[in-house]
Structure 1
């Protein structure tokens, strides 16, 4: 079956919904294709104790403030899922699920989106699939380790590891938060490639968004690179992280050199036994559906001007990080680049 829309939005998470909001306001005909079975995007697949860095009012999509969560200054992931579900319903966004985009192709004056449930043609496409491809670094001995290995996306709760020897790898927010989660009931070893850099305790998502925006504005006017969020540190000191840190439970060791059958080994021969290794090593953009357009450069990066793909002006990329808009991978940050993408597409279609 082949169907047509002016704009095909690939992705039904926060970036796809923000795009849909602005497309609707501009009166454009569009469809959102979401590979997941339920609303809520990637927020449906987080660990149980995860909370936002910011209060609800500073974690909102365009047009609708996130309501506060009773008893919580910083809402949890379940609250975010409920908000996204209500947002989608409130604006009657035409989300079709589960529909997985397999490839985007040039087809005359249109872009053709092949999916696992048929074909869509659009005069423009917004790719909003997010940074949801788990990254696992290549470490010597990975196939020799006899214990359990899992990525952040597979971790749920500390009770699953109670009494076990666990190594958490990663010096970012997910590594610190999961290490703090496990610090009380496991024999924990936390490792990072460089000493963890905690942000000041009063810094939350509001300040991070401000720093990312200031950096982008400085670069756009040819000014000095302020460093953005990276200049402030790596780890937001949310309450569980602060508590574990202040108790002396978050002491990071340098990255090990290899895995061995019973654990890990450092370059000097020191070893630590482990029953499980949790890789908090981040994600990569989910862009395999764009491969047929052949837009990636040598390093796998798609060149963009704002959100627009430089070599295919009918394609916009939204929500993949600062390279598609300041803080565009965040709830509060995706609204402005979503509006810019929708306006650019309106101009193109006119």
Structure 2
């Protein structure tokens, strides 16, 4: 027999917790279903040296400032996990851990959420699953021919396992730069980017990025010219480890290769590099397999939304997937505002 509530939030990472905070404040009955066995979301699975782009106070969820981490201006992933666990406990959020939501079905006036731990019936569903479980690998010629090791950002942990190896890191964003900096000096590094690396000014961090994303969204909403948002500032936040490696001359990027071979990579001009491993820091896609079959996608394959709500079926909301669902909503500080608006829209829908 299905359990019943007003709102099911799928995903108990930072976006799901922000949604739970605002739903609780409005007195909306809900449950947060988290596939992870313990609190912390995807932050539990990042590489060891990962750092936030912003100081702790500017990396906070609604209602609770993240405390500073001793000795570090930019907190590491373990500090974020501790903060999220404390946040969940402090606000007594209704999180159920260890249950994967496989599918959502329309069931008369209700939505039925099918999980490992039984079904739930709800009047609305908030999808807050993020992107970490859906890494993107580009269709590069020869990728299946390469006989060395290939892994994505999600599988990288530390430089120790690559000591002395020849490693190609692909990607000119923050993950690519941080992992390349992590490997520099330990592995024989080749860093490959689609275009020359664009570093933000050293004094710019996540605070400025959030402001830029918000200003862009406001301009678009008001019909003004596109400000360019975060992309206008650059691609890479120069956190201290990246800055140190760059200034030491250890982060010299090569253009993207034309193909992989059995032993490494080859460029259009005929040059080649032998590699033991290729690390793809090539981004992610929204993890929305649980919504397959509901026909929420439009003719171009995208789910069209107004704010965070689906235009096809307003009982579905999407939180934490980037600018698609709110300026900088994939960040700790950025998800607060769209989470608040989601809760308000759900209150009106349920009324």
Give the equivalent residue in structure 2 for 1:16: 16
TM-score (norm 2): 0.98
Separation (CA, whole Å) in 1 of partners of 2:255 and 2:222? 39
Preserved contact between residue 127 and residue 315 of structure 1 (Cα < 8 Å): yes
Superimposed CA distance per residue, residues 296-339 of structure 1 (whole angstroms, 9 cap, x where no aligned partner): 13443210000001101011100000010010000000000000
Give the equivalent residue in structure 2 for 1:93: 93
Q: CA deviation at 1:78?
A: 0.1
Separation (CA, whole Å) in 2 of partners of 1:138 and 1:224? 34
Give the equivalent residue in structure 2 for 1:104: 104
Q: CA deviation at 1:108?
A: 1.2
- CA-based RMSD of the aligned residues comes to 0.8
Q: CA deviation at 1:150?
A: 0.4
Separation (CA, whole Å) in 2 of partners of 1:190 and 1:330? 26
Correspondences of 1:125-274 after superposition (within 5 Å): 125-132=125-132, 133-274=134-275
Greater shift, 245-254 or 203-212, is seen at: 245-254
Between the two proteins, the alignment pairs up a number of residues equal to 350
Superimposed CA distance per residue, residues 71-93 of structure 1 (whole angstroms, 9 cap, x where no aligned partner): 11111000000000000001111
Separation (CA, whole Å) in 2 of partners of 1:332 and 1:300? 29
Q: List structure 1 segments (4+ residues) > 4 angstroms apart after TM superposition.
A: none
3-state SS of the aligned residue for 1:20? Answer: helix
Separation (CA, whole Å) in 1 of partners of 2:166 and 2:254? 15
Unaligned runs of 5+ in 2: none
Separation (CA, whole Å) in 1 of partners of 2:292 and 2:160? 41
Correspondences of 1:32-43 after superposition (within 5 Å): 32-43=32-43
Separation (CA, whole Å) in 2 of partners of 1:293 and 1:129? 17
3-state SS of the aligned residue for 1:293? Answer: coil
Superimposed CA distance per residue, residues 159-217 of structure 1 (whole angstroms, 9 cap, x where no aligned partner): 11110100000000000010011111111100011111110000000000000000011
Over 3 Å counting, the alpha-carbon distance change for 1:294 and 1:80 in structure 2 is same
Preserved contact between residue 152 and residue 280 of structure 1 (Cα < 8 Å): yes
TM-score (norm 1): 0.99
Separation (CA, whole Å) in 1 of partners of 2:20 and 2:208? 27
Preserved contact between residue 17 and residue 88 of structure 1 (Cα < 8 Å): yes
Give the equivalent residue in structure 2 for 1:292: 293
